[in-house]
């Protein structure tokens, strides 16, 4: 009986230890500088955004700015701040657009920050060649920016991301402003994480779309 009691005690202790296992540590990276010396931006996460390849690589603060980060840390960022929660971001803001490149993040100023292991300077996530065609329409929540601040598309009120080919957004700037009506068709991703497409047809209404010139057919610039 004594042996059985000891076995039950050991089992109880192991279960208790498993229940108290701390969450995984935030990702770390070795830079020659301390990213937490950079400017901080604090906001409430409104939603996470996917790109046309189905990767989560951006979020919108309820206060307005867009924050971009490498897709491979998306789970860690979401764990730190699900939608509706506050997130502290250390990073670099584009000079002429409200978009922030994340270099470190935390759920609170006094929490141990997670550090991004690489810079995410370019718009990523091109649609796959076999991606399905998607249609989207609605009011524009905000313009969508590349990490360096170039206008690249729009985010609709339902969270759909509409991206235009490189250099193709400026001619459609009036359709990409907040509150504008926007309809689009193109190839992209649609799933539980969200919806995003690279538009090849664009307009104010679904029945009045016009082709979006591709970089190879837009002529001299």
Per-residue pLDDT of the chain (221 residues; tens, 9 = 90+): 444 443 433 334 333 443 444 444 555 555 566 777 889 999 999 999 999 999 999 999 998 899 999 999 999 999 999 999 999 999 999 999 999 999 999 999 999 999 998 888 888 888 988 999 999 999 999 999 999 999 999 999 999 999 998 888 999 999 999 999 999 999 999 999 999 999 999 999 999 999 998 775 444 33
pLDDT for the residue numbered 111: 92
Q: How confident is the model at residue 28, as a pLDDT?
A: 54
**C-alpha span between 79 and 99 (Å, rounded):** 21
pLDDT of residue 176: 97
Give the pLDDT score at 19.
Answer: 41
Q: What's the pLDDT at 29?
A: 52
User: Quick one: which of 61, 53, 100 has its CA closest to 81?
Assistant: 61
**pLDDT on residue 32:** 63
Within 10 A of 210 (CB to CB), how many other CB atoms are there? Answer: 9
Place of tokens 């009036």: 174
Q: How far apart are CA 162 and CA 149, in angstroms?
A: 16
pTM above 0.85, yes or no: no
User: Which are the contacts of 174, defined by CB distance < 8 A and separation ≥ 6?
Assistant: 180
195 with 189: CB under 8 angstroms? Answer: yes
pLDDT of residue 33: 65
Phi, psi of 45 (to 5 degrees): -70, 120
Confidence at residue 13, expressed as pLDDT on a 0 to 100 scale: 37
Q: What local confidence, expressed as pLDDT, does residue 35 receive?
A: 76
């Amino acid at each position: 009986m004594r042996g059985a009691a000891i076995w039950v005690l050991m089992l109880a202790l192991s279960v208790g230890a498993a229940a108290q296992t701390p969450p995984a540590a935030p990702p770390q990276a070795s830079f020659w500088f301390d990213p937490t010396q950079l400017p901080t931006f604090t906001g409430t996460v409104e939603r996470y955004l996917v790109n046309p390849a189905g990767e989560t690589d951006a979020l919108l603060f309820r206060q307005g700015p867009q924050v971009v980060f490498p897709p491979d840390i998306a789970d860690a960022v979401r764990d730190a701040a699900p939608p509706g929660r506050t997130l502290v971001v250390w990073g670099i803001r584009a000079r002429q657009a409200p978009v922030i490149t994340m270099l470190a993040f935390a759920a609170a100023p006094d929490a141990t920050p997670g550090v991004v292991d690489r810079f995410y300077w370019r718009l990523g996530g091109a649609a796959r060649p076999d991606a399905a065609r998607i249609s989207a329409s609605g009011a524009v929540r905000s313009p969508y920016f590349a990490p360096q601040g170039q206008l690249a598309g729009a985010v609709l009120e339902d969270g759909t991301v509409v991206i235009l080919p490189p250099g193709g957004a400026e001619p459609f700037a009036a359709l990409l402003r907040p509150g504008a009506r926007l309809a689009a068709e193109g190839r992209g991703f649609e799933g539980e994480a969200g919806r995003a497409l690279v538009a090849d047809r664009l307009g104010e209404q679904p029945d009045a779309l016009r082709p979006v010139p591709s970089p190879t057919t837009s002529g001299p610039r």
